[in-house]
């Protein structure tokens, strides 16, 4: 008897262009199966796309490198047949008794013919729909089964106009598919338009009765002290006899480590007629003071394991289903004070600081590992929302899983964008896809796929556009709120009302478009943006943005020099020409490769002087990229601090366009495609702290932001000004402060710029700390110049040689490393008046603060098997090999601030070839691009995985520290 449950078919796939295969699907899956990767067959990428497979096998150039995407033939020129591909694999399965087998495709693009052991089935059109095929009767008796899938590209792949544009000629909008694939202002066209088996393929074994799409809903009463879990599921009886079922639901919570407590276990008896499909709603389960799920920075992301099993009389266990579930209530309404949409979670207002998301990889090589890194990066930046943009994906369950684990609220859009659905050049079709019924089928299936994830906060009809009237009306009706989840509802469920789990969703608001109903000006006018470099102080001014919630505001995103060298040939290493204009501004003229990779300049002639040039004209690629990181840090910290400065008084939230690139693009990103962070990542991380001390760059007043729901008392702000000679001309402490919850408090004006003989370039260090133990709550370091000035005095400052002491502690297990580096500026002994020089940071309570000793979620095979009653979220707590402490002294005779230090991790290679990229990526750092005043010390923690057989080394670089520390591990 086969084991009940799901098995992924994720390895052993082959692929071939259909025009190069002379056999039929029946022949491929009976008498003439391919035997291995020999022409025309090649190893396939599943999940992935045709283009991903071609790149893996080096059949085409790497579209991420230089201009090589131009060498790949576009589907508009080749015709659709060129990208129609066969995919082939084998799997073992032998059933017995009343067992049944489903062959599942969680998504394909765009349609397909499936052949299993000579039998043909059809996967109909639509990129965002699941397909489940019962194949019980066509399995081979010997257990070896041959599977071939012929995948067809989208029906309307479109053509790329010479001038490019948003979504090419917009033809792709006629299909229910991703719209970015014809190119955008942040990505080049994707040549196969994402044709392929782009999501998981699996087989699932059940008995006579199958569980289909359970829906879990939590409701709360008595100020969140009481909760109910509502659950509805569909049951399908595949037998020819009445199935007498025991339907079980179990809820477990983790106590410590992998020890679980079963909080509820309920069994119901249900009869399912032969061949019937019924819906069954469990009696609601009652909980007293459940552990709640909170967004990042505001509490713990508590998750319960809910499992449902069905046993059939005379057969035994027939099917099982499991899901991690969070008790939480998300509400939103248009705030009267600001006009912006205000979100509440568990009754608490949440000031939204988040980012726009496209997808992990434009070739759809999606993986749990990549998703985990992506989402943890967003949590590390202290963001609390991700918007899944309408021109991209309905994101996958693994994406949502990690948003649940790390506390990122998700705004999920459907597949409508203004550029492709109503405007643009040429003017696009405002009526959406050709097949509205197909759109709604995909939408309803997406809701069922994602609705149980607590991180999912709202549904939105489209980007900068509303869906066509009939689709919009259908979505509004299908996604209407259950009365329990309307903002005015405080009452218990009445007898007359349907159980909320019987709705398609019923728990989340539906907004018709990204600039309607509390977003931008709320009326659909184009009032998001801007998307260019800004004067940092402008973000703080009242006239910068006039509406309460900006769903898109963006800027620059230049990566480090190593990424440019890794993704471009030497012709792409040429930095922009700095062209002086008659109006006194500078225009940047980038090289053609940067232009192709959508570089966005650091100047806006007529409004913003070149922000890189403020530091001096860059000499080469390394100099340019380093100065760009200085600008990245300042730009994004100012953006978020400017919004937060008027939390609730003017704004309810902001989403940055955008956090990452699914391609090797050069704009709008906090980390590049290779997963190396820009300095903007850490500027964002600093500014988005739940409790934060900052300088208002428009007024020069020091402010403290408390986004939490608790008052802070007996705290102090320390403000010290440091000059380029290492002196501290101004030092002030503002003590015995109380910070009310969810407020911004103005502390005092920074007096240095108005003092006698102020320094033209200076540093400002702000610290917010607990007076009881001097622990740091927030630390913020600025480099500033007087009005009308620039940073050019920092250029000779690079010659300073500041003595450092670095103590490293390393622990590792197999390929997992955790390192703590304590760095101290030894140029001067700490001033005894300054009690906070050691930077002993206060621990946050269960809110995602990076902590090397904290336990990190990992997952084992129970996640795939989804065994009932087993908690699917395990923790890594392995015994580590410890290398002890190592101390490195960096000599230097100067006194001053050691400025803009950056750690990185590399593979130690004795035969390193010149220019080879040795970085180990990704690395999670507690902080980076940091500076230390004389006597100050900082502990930086990092964690990473290394490839097998690789020895890592940690390097340190800085503005005025050019040599490297090699910590060989």
Assign 3-class secondary structure to 859-913.
CCCHHHHCCCCCCCCEECCCCCEEEEEEEEEECCCCCCCEEEEEEEEEECCCCCC
State mean pLDDT over 893-907. 95
Residue 607 has pLDDT above 80, yes or no: yes
- Which pLDDT does position 880 carry in this prediction? 59
Residue 436 has pLDDT above 50, yes or no: yes
CB-count exposure of residue 32 (10 Å: 0-12, 13-18, 19+): middle
Contacts of 539 (CB under 8 A, 6+ apart): 638, 639, 641, 642, 643, 697
- Which pLDDT does position 164 carry in this prediction? 79
- Which pLDDT does position 862 carry in this prediction? 35
Strand partners, 925: 942
Residue 481 has pLDDT above 90, yes or no: yes
Residue 595 has pLDDT above 50, yes or no: yes
- Which pLDDT does position 313 carry in this prediction? 97
Q: Give phi and psi for 469, each to the nearest 5.
A: -55, -45
What span, in angstroms and rounded, lies between the C-alpha atoms of 601 and 586?
10
Chain mean position to CA 98: 43
- Which pLDDT does position 865 carry in this prediction? 37
Residue 19 has pLDDT above 80, yes or no: yes
Residue tagged 């289903």 (tokens): 321
Strands 111-116 and 316-325: unpaired
**% residues pLDDT > 90 (the chain):** 87
Contacts of 495 (CB under 8 A, 6+ apart): none
CA atoms within 13 A on the CB side of 118: 9
- Mean per-residue pLDDT of the chain: 93
The answer to whether the beta carbons of residues 191 and 75 sit under 8 Å apart is yes
Catalytic residues: 464, 552
What span, in angstroms and rounded, lies between the C-alpha atoms of 53 and 55?
5
CB-count exposure of residue 765 (10 Å: 0-12, 13-18, 19+): buried
Q: Is 165 helix (H, G, I), strand (E, B) or coil?
A: coil
Per-residue buried b or exposed e for 375-412, using 16+ beta carbons within 10 Å of the residue's own CB: bbbbbbbbbbbbbbbbbbbbbbebbbbbbbbbbbbbbb
Q: How far is CA 171 from CA 7, 250, 466, in A?
A: 37, 48, 18
State mean pLDDT over 259-264. 80
The answer to whether the beta carbons of residues 601 and 590 sit under 8 Å apart is yes
Residue tagged 């020999």 (tokens): 38
User: If DSSP states are collapsed to H, E and C, what string results for 287-333?
Assistant: EECCCEECCCCCCCECCEEEEEEEEECCCEEEEEEEEEECECCEEEE
Confidence at 831, pLDDT banded by 50, 70, 90: confident
**% residues pLDDT > 70 (the chain):** 93
The pair of structure tokens assigned to 223 is: 């100020």
Contacts of 517 (CB under 8 A, 6+ apart): 334, 341, 511
- Comparing CA positions, the residue from 148, 152, 188, 172 lying closest to residue 44 is 148
Confidence at 491, pLDDT banded by 50, 70, 90: low
Contacts of 371 (CB under 8 A, 6+ apart): 360, 396, 398, 399, 401, 402
Q: Put the strands of the sheet holding 804-813 in their side by side order.
A: 881-890, 804-813, 816-825, 937-945, 923-925
- Comparing CA positions, the residue from 839, 864, 675, 856 lying closest to residue 768 is 839
Q: How far is CA 650 from CA 245, 381, 529, 637, in A?
A: 57, 23, 17, 18
pLDDT tens track for 347-364: 999 999 999 999 999 999
State mean pLDDT over 326-350. 97
Domains of the chain from N-terminus onward: 5-153+192-206 (2.60.120.260), 209-314 (2.60.40.10), 357-552 (3.20.20.80), 689-793 (2.60.40.10), 804-848+877-967 (2.60.40.10)
The pair of structure tokens assigned to 64 is: 């991420």
State mean pLDDT over 739-759. 95
Confidence at 679, pLDDT banded by 50, 70, 90: very high
Least confident of 231-235, 254-258, 696-700: 254-258
Peptide bond just before 5 cis, omega within 30 deg:
no
The answer to whether the beta carbons of residues 763 and 783 sit under 8 Å apart is yes
- 846 vs 163: which has the higher pLDDT: 163
- Which pLDDT does position 844 carry in this prediction? 62
- Comparing CA positions, the residue from 148, 211, 200, 199 lying closest to residue 5 is 211
What span, in angstroms and rounded, lies between the C-alpha atoms of 825 and 803?
6
State mean pLDDT over 377-405. 98
Contacts of 295 (CB under 8 A, 6+ apart): 345, 350, 384, 385, 407, 408, 409
- Which pLDDT does position 258 carry in this prediction? 65
Contacts of 879 (CB under 8 A, 6+ apart): 813
State mean pLDDT over 692-708. 97
The answer to whether the beta carbons of residues 540 and 699 sit under 8 Å apart is yes
Residue 875 has pLDDT above 70, yes or no: no
pLDDT tens track for 638-659: 999 999 999 999 999 999 999 9
Contacts of 331 (CB under 8 A, 6+ apart): 343, 344, 345, 485, 487, 509
Confidence at 495, pLDDT banded by 50, 70, 90: low
The answer to whether the beta carbons of residues 146 and 28 sit under 8 Å apart is yes
State mean pLDDT over 897-908. 95
- Which pLDDT does position 256 carry in this prediction? 64
Length of the chain: 969
Confidence at 964, pLDDT banded by 50, 70, 90: low
Confidence at 871, pLDDT banded by 50, 70, 90: very low
Q: Is 379 left (phi over 0), alpha (psi -120 to 50) or beta?
A: alpha
State mean pLDDT over 156-164. 91
Least confident of 80-84, 177-181, 593-597, 835-839: 835-839
Residue tagged 């997808």 (tokens): 359
Chain mean position to CA 958: 29
Least confident of 61-65, 458-462, 912-916, 931-935: 912-916
Least confident of 88-102, 252-266, 389-403: 252-266
The pair of structure tokens assigned to 271 is: 């009869």
The answer to whether the beta carbons of residues 770 and 594 sit under 8 Å apart is no
What span, in angstroms and rounded, lies between the C-alpha atoms of 745 and 703?
6
What span, in angstroms and rounded, lies between the C-alpha atoms of 615 and 624?
10
The answer to whether the beta carbons of residues 566 and 673 sit under 8 Å apart is no
The answer to whether the beta carbons of residues 515 and 525 sit under 8 Å apart is yes
- Which pLDDT does position 496 carry in this prediction? 64
Least confident of 43-47, 518-522, 669-673, 886-890: 886-890
């Amino acid at each position: 008897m086969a084991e009940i449950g799901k098995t992924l078919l994720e390895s052993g796939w082959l692929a071939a262009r259909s025009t190069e295969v002379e056999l039929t699907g029946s022949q491929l899956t009976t008498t003439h199966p391919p035997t291995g990767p020999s022409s025309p067959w090649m190893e396939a990428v599943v999940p992935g796309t045709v283009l991903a497979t071609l790149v893996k096998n080096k059949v085409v150039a790497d579209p991420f490198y230089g201009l090589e995407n131009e060498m790949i033939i576009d589907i508009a020129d080749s015709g659709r047949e060129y990208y129609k591909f066969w995919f082939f694999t084998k799997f073992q399965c032998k059933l017995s008794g009343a067992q049944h087998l489903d062959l599942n495709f969680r998504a394909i693009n765009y349609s397909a013919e499936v052949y299993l052991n000579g039998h043909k089935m059809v996967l109909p059109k639509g990129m965002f729909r699941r397909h489940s095929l019962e194949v019980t009767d066509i399995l081979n008796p010997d257990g070896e089964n041959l599977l071939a899938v012929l995948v067809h590209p989208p029906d309307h792949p479109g053509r790329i106009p010479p001038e490019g544009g948003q979504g090419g000629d917009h033809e792709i909008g006629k299909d229910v598919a991703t719209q970015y694939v014809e190119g955008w202002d942040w990505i080049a066209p994707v040549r196969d338009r994402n044709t392929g088996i782009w999501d998981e393929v699996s087989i699932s074994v059940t008995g006579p009765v199958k569980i289909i799409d359970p829906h879990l809903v939590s409701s709360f009463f008595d100020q969140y002290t009481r909760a109910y879990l509502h659950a509805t599921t569909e049951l399908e009886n595949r037998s020819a006899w009445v199935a007498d079922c025991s339907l079980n639901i179990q809820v477990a919570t983790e106590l410590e480590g992998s020890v679980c407590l079963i909080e509820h276990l309920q069994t119901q008896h249900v009869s399912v007629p032969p061949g019937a499909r019924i819906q069954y709603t469990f009696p609601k389960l009652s909980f007293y003071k459940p552990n709640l799920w909170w967004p990042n920075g505001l509490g713990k992301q508590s998750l319960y394991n809910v499992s449902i099993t069905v046993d059939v009389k005379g057969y035994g266990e027939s099917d099982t289903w499991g899901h991690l579930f969070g008790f939480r209530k998300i509400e939103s309404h248009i705030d009267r004070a600001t006009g912006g949409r205000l979100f509440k979670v568990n009754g608490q207002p949440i000031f939204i600081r988040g980012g726009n998301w496209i997808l992990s990889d434009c070739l759809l090589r999606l993986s749990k590992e990549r998703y985990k890194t992506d989402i943890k990066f967003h949590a590390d930046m202290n963001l609390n929302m991700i918007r899944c943009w309408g021109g991209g994906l309905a994101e996958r369950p693994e994406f949502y899983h990690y948003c649940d684990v790390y506390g990122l609220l998700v705004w999920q859009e459907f597949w409508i964008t203004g550029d492709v659905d109503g405007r643009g050049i040429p003017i696009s079709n405002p009526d959406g896809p050709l097949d509205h019924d197909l759109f709604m089928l995909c939408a309803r299936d997406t809701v069922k796929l994602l609705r149980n994830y607590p991180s999912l906060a709202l549904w939105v009809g489209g980007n900068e556009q509303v869906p066509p009237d009939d689709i919009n009306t259908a979505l509004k009706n299908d996604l209407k709120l259950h009365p329990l989840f309307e903002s005015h509802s405080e009452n218990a469920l009445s007898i007359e009302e349907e159980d909320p789990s019987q709705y398609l969703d019923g728990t989340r608001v539906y907004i018709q478009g990204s600039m309607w109903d509390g977003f931008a000006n709320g009326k659909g006018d184009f009032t998001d943006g801007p998307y260019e470099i800004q004067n940092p102080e402008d973000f703080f001014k009242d006239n910068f943005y006039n509406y309460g919630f900006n769903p898109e505001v963006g800027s620059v995103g230049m990566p480090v020099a190593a990424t440019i060298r890794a993704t471009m040939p030497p012709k792409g290493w040429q930095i922009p020409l700095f062209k002086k204009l008659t109006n006194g501004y500078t225009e940047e003229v980038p090289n053609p490769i940067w232009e192709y990779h959508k570089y966005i300049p650091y100047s806006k002639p007529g409004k913003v002087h070149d922000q890189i040039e403020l530091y001096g004209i860059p000499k080469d690629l390394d100099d340019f990229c380093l100065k760009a990181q200085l600008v990245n840090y300042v730009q994004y910290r100012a953006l978020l601090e400017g919004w937060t400065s008027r939390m609730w008084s003017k704004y309810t939230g902001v989403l940055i366009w955008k956090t990452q690139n699914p391609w090797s693009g050069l704009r709008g990103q906090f980390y590049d495609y290779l997963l190396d962070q820009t300095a903007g990542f850490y500027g964002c991380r600093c500014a988005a702290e739940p409790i934060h001390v900052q300088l208002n760059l428009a007024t020069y007043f020091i402010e403290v932001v408390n986004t939490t729901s608790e008052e802070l008392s007996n705290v102090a702000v320390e403000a010290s000004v440091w000059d380029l000679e290492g002196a501290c001309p101004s030092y002030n402490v503002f003590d015995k402060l109380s910070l009310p919850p969810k407020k911004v408090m103005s502390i005092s004006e920074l007096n240095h710029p108005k003092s006698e003989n102020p320094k033209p370039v200076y540093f400002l260090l702000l610290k917010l700390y607990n007076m009881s133990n001097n622990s740091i709550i927030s630390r913020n370091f600025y480099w500033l110049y007087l009005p009308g000035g620039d940073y050019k005095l920092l250029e000779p400052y690079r010659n300073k040689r500041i003595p450092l002491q670095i103590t490293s502690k390393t622990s590792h297990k197999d390929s997992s490393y955790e390192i703590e580096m304590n760095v101290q500026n030894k140029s001067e002994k700490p001033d005894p008046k300054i009690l906070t020089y050691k930077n002993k940071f206060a621990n946050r309570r269960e809110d995602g603060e990076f902590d090397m000793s904290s336990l990190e979620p990992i997952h084992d095979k129970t996640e795939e098997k989804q065994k009932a009653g087993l908690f699917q979220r395990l923790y890594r707590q392995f015994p580590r090999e410890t290398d002890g402490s190592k101390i490195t002294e960096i000599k230097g005779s100067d006194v001053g601030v050691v400025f803009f230090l950056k750690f990185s991790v590399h593979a130690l290679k004795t035969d390193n070839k010149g220019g080879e990229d040795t970085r180990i990526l990704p690395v999670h750092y507690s902080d980076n691009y940091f500076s230390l005043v004389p006597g100050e010390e900082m502990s930086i923690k990092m964690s990473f995985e290394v490839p097998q057989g690789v020895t890592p080394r940690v390097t340190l670089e800085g503005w005025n520290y050019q040599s490297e520390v090699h910590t060989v591990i």
